[in-house]
């Protein structure tokens, strides 16, 4: 193709070639702009991705309630110990109470860790959940304790509860015992959260039978992941035989450390297996949580501005949104 010097006119025979070059130039610029826009969008989305690798949702601010009840019952359940069940029960309950919800926490573990975590000495209790289960003349109001968090109440437990699992074996409709004794107080609360013991025995089955939904706290560690299949099998059996309304509300990743490849890989596998049933909120490891157990109060009051408190407030919004 000939090139015209400055000042020379373009011949008629050259005009189509010049127009073609102009169109090609514009198309190239447009393609470049599209690529740049796509890269900018990818960068924007990546910046908004949460620790689960999914875009963080914009959660609405919870609306204030003009009346309370009946309660939605949540079982905090995992047969593996040390995965953050009790910590999550306390702090989710406290975060929901901050949002104006009336919350009842049920300590359904003979170790009484939930009671200790709220400043109660289990060994000094005259009546506990055990008495509520086994003595018909005892009501929930006889056992119930107020906590230092407004709107947050507790049904405490101690080692006596370990005897209930044996004694309930001979009872008629033994799996419905907890649901029966909780029934009278459900109209007074918006949420009841049951802290289950680390097993799949009769007490845990009672909790699942009484519950509307299950939250599974899952430590971001390989051995914790292995046990989820067995727990899901138990949940399906309870759904099939005892509580058809039971739903898996979500899987909560706890004790997460983004600095380790292992933690990131386990979390990615959980999201791959359970998808949207995994909460967007992830609870990171922090020394604040053991400190709250010592002082006997939730992290939302002990370290209100900490990352742990913010995480459980985010989780409360997710629970309310779901």
Which sign, positive or negative, has the C-alpha torsion 280, 285, 290, 295?
Answer: negative
Distance CA 315, CA 32 (A): 41
Distance CA 242, CA 267 (A): 31
Burial of 189 (0-12, 13-18, 19+ CB in 10 A): buried
pLDDT for res 14 = 62
* Structural tokens at position 245: 């309304």
Phi first, then psi: give them for residue 230, nearest 5 degrees: -65, -40
Contact between 52 and 282 under an 8 Å Cβ cutoff? The reply is: yes
Q: Spell out the SS3 assignment of 148-174.
A: CCCCEEEECCCCCHHHHHHHHHHCCCH
Q: Tokens 């910046």, residue?
A: 47
pLDDT values of the chain reduced to their tens digit, one per residue, 322 residues: 555 555 555 555 665 555 656 655 666 656 656 655 555 554 454 457 889 999 988 888 888 899 998 999 999 999 888 899 999 999 999 999 999 999 999 999 999 999 999 999 998 999 999 999 999 999 999 999 999 999 999 999 999 999 998 999 888 889 999 999 999 999 999 999 999 999 989 999 999 999 999 999 999 888 877 788 889 999 999 999 999 999 999 999 999 998 899 999 999 999 998 999 999 999 998 888 988 988 999 999 999 999 999 999 999 999 999 7
Measure Cα distances from 198 to 84, 212, 213 in Å.
11, 20, 18
Residues in Cβ contact with 134 at an 8 Å cutoff, skipping those fewer than 6 apart: 164, 167
Contact between 239 and 75 under an 8 Å Cβ cutoff? The reply is: no
Total-model pTM: 0.84
């Amino acid at each position: 193709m000939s090139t015209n010097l400055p000042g020379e006119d373009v011949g008629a025979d050259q005009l189509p070639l010049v127009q073609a070059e102009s169109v090609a130039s514009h198309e190239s610029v447009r393609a470049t702009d599209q690529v740049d826009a796509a890269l900018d969008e990818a960068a924007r989305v990546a910046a908004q991705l949460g620790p689960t690798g999914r875009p963080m949702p914009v959660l609405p601010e919870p609306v204030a309630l003009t009346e309370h009840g009946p309660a939605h019952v949540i079982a905090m359940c995992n047969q593996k110990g040390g995965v953050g069940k009790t910590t999550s029960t306390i702090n989710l309950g406290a975060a929901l109470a901050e949002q104006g919800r009336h919350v009842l926490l049920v300590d359904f573990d003979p170790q009484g860790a939930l009671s200790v975590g709220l400043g109660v000495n289990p060994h000094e209790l005259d009546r506990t959940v055990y008495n509520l289960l086994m003595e018909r003349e005892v009501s929930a109001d006889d056992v119930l304790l107020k906590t230092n968090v407004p709107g947050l109440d507790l049904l405490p437990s101690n080692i006596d509860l370990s005897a209930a699992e044996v004694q309930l074996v001979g009872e008629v409709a033994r799996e419905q015992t907890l649901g029966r004794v909780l029934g009278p107080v459900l109209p007074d609360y918006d949420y009841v959260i049951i802290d289950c013991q680390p097993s799949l025995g009769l007490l845990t089955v009672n909790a699942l039978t009484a519950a509307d939904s299950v939250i599974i706290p899952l430590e971001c560690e390989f051995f914790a992941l292995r046990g989820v299949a067995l727990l899901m099998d138990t949940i399906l059996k309870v759904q099939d035989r005892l509580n058809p309304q039971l739903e898996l509300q979500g899987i909560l990743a706890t004790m997460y450390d983004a600095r380790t490849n292992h933690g990131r890989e386990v979390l990615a596998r959980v999201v791959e297996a359970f998808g949207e049933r995994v909460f967007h909120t992830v609870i990171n490891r922090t020394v604040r949580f053991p400190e709250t157990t010592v002082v006997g109060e939730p992290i939302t009051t002990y370290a209100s501005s900490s990352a742990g408190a913010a995480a459980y407030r985010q989780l409360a919004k997710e629970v309310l949104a779901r």
